[in-house]
Amino acid sequence: MPFDVDVLTLGEAMVLFAAEDAGPLAGAARFRRFCAGAELNVAIGLARLGLRVGYLSRVGDDAFGTFLLDTMRHEGVHTGLVAVDDTRPTGFMLKSRATDGRDPEIEYHRRHSAASAMAGGDLASLRPVRARHLHVTGITPALSPGCRELVFETVRWARARGMSVSFDPNLRPRLWPSAEEMCRTVNTLAGLSDLVLPGIAEGRRLTGLDDAATIARHYLDLGAADVVVKLGADGAWCAGRDGLSTRVPGVPVPKVVDTVGAGDGFAVGVISARLEGLDLVAAAMRGNRIGARVVQHPGDSDGLPTREQLDAWGPTP
C-alpha cells in the first residue's frame, strides 16, 4: 500500500557501545548502549523535528536488531522498509570516551553484516513510497558492491520522481578498496545530488583543493545546486548556483563531550530548514546550532533536539 514520507534515507543501523570512562578503548570496562549509523542519526533527528521519515535497511534477527527496531519505532522512524535477515548479524561499534575535545577511538564490527548484503534489488521495496527528499551518505556505497549499486539506483529513482537529494560524503577510507575508488564514487554521487555537505578535510581529500570556496565551486561545477562546507568550530561555507558564497559563523560550545555525530546533526538542521523553505544561510545556521548541541552529548543521536527544544532557541539569527 502506498505511503507518504517527507524524507527517505538508507544505510546501516548499528548498535553503539560508548565507554563511560575516559582512556584507551582497550581499557574500557563500562559502556552505555546507543543506536548509531550516520543515516539513522539523520532519520532520528528529522523525526524528532516532526518530519515523516522512511528508512531502508536490514538488521539481523538478533537482540541488536530488535533493539534498533524498537528504537526506531520509539523515535517515530518508519520501519516498514527495514528487513530482518536471519542469516547475517547486526553490526555494532565500540567508542572510547575522549575528554579533551579530540575525536574518540572507534572500532567497528560490521563485516558480513545484514546491512552489507543490501543490493539493487532492495529498490523494489521503495515502490509504494512517495517522498519529498532523499538523503544518502558515502558510507553505504563503501559497504559492498551491492550497497553501492543500491545507493546509485535509489538516487536515480528519486531524481526521476522529482525528489530533492542531499549527500554527505562521510568518508570512511578503511571501508574502500582504494583511495582512488573512494574519491571517484563519492564525487560521482555528489554530482548527482542537489545539496552536498562535505567537511573541509573531506573536501580537500576528495578534490585536491584547499579552501572552502574553491571546494564548493568544484561541486557546483559537478552539478550540485547548493554546497555547504562544514568548518567545525569556524562554522560553514555556503555556496549556491544562484551566486551565493559566504561563511556562516560557528556556535560556541562550552565543553565538547564527543565529536561523533556532529556532521549528522548538521545535516538534520540543513535538511529540515530547507524543507521548511528557509534559505541556505539560515539552514546552515540551524545546522551549526544542532551540531553544537550534539557534541555536548556522549551518544551519536542523544543530543539531537526535539521540535519543542528547537523552537525554544528562538528564530535562527
* Closest by Cα among 128, 118, 127, 107 to 152: 118
> Which positions are catalytic?
264
The C-alpha cell of 59 is what?
538488521
Half-sphere exposure of 148 (CA within 13 A, CB side): 13
Beta carbons within 8 Å of 45's beta carbon, 6+ residues apart = 264, 265, 267, 268, 272, 290, 301, 304, 305
What tens-digit pLDDT sequence spans the chain (317 residues)? 678 999 999 999 999 998 988 888 888 889 989 899 999 999 999 999 999 999 999 999 999 999 999 999 999 999 999 999 999 999 998 988 876 667 788 888 888 999 999 999 999 999 899 999 999 999 999 999 999 999 999 999 999 999 999 999 999 999 999 999 999 999 999 999 999 999 999 999 999 999 999 999 999 999 999 999 999 989 999 999 999 999 999 998 888 877 777 899 999 999 999 999 999 999 999 999 999 999 888 766 888 999 999 998 877 65
φ, ψ for residue 138 (rounded to 5)?
-85, 0
Decide the pairing of beta strands 53-60 and 3-10: parallel
How far is the C-alpha of 186 from the C-alpha of 157, rounded, in Å? 18
CA 90, 106, 287, 161 dihedral sign is: negative
The total of other beta-carbon atoms located within 10 Å of residue 310's CB is: 21
